[in-house]
Amino acid sequence: MPPAPDLDLIRGTLDLLLLKTLSWGPMHGLAALQWIERTTNQKLQVEEGALYPALHRLEEKGWLDAEWGHTDRGRRAKFYRLTAAGRRQLTAELSKWAHYTEAVGLVIAAKGARS
């Protein structure tokens, strides 16, 4: 059994992670999952049960296009790529994430409660 991941995905971050991952180029779902895990040194692990519903949701929103192709191992797979709308959404999500992490950082760095 693989070791438990160090971090749980914060609700809503999977979409951002997938948009950013696919900004590097088209990938099939398993490749995107493995890229996220490899890039985070296995600190984030994405369950397939969360991955595919997220990819389908992003596709329904028009942020991803998908087409069938074959992996390096010759297996048939659906390859996802970012659309122009997906790139715009990624920019918006990155901005929201920056504001969120800045706000959380302020709370964490606070020296004490004020009345």
CATH code (residue 17): 1.10.10.10
- CA dist 17 and 39 (Å) reads 11
Q: What is the pLDDT along the chain (115 residues), one digit of tens a residue?
A: 455 545 556 667 999 999 999 999 999 999 999 999 999 999 988 888 899 999 999 999 999 999 999 998 999 999 999 999 999 999 999 999 999 999 999 999 998 877 5
pLDDT of residue 12: 75
Assigned domain for 20 exists: yes
Assigned domain for 6 exists: no
pLDDT of residue 24: 96
**Domains of the chain: total:** 1
Intra-chain end-to-end CA distance of the chain, in Å: 48
Assigned domain for 1 exists: no
Measuring CA to CA, how many Å separate 79 from each of 25, 53, 90, 104? 10, 15, 18, 35
pLDDT of residue 1: 44
Assigned domain for 31 exists: yes
Tokens 């397939």 -> residue = 48
User: What domain range includes position 22?
Assistant: 13-109
pLDDT of residue 22: 98
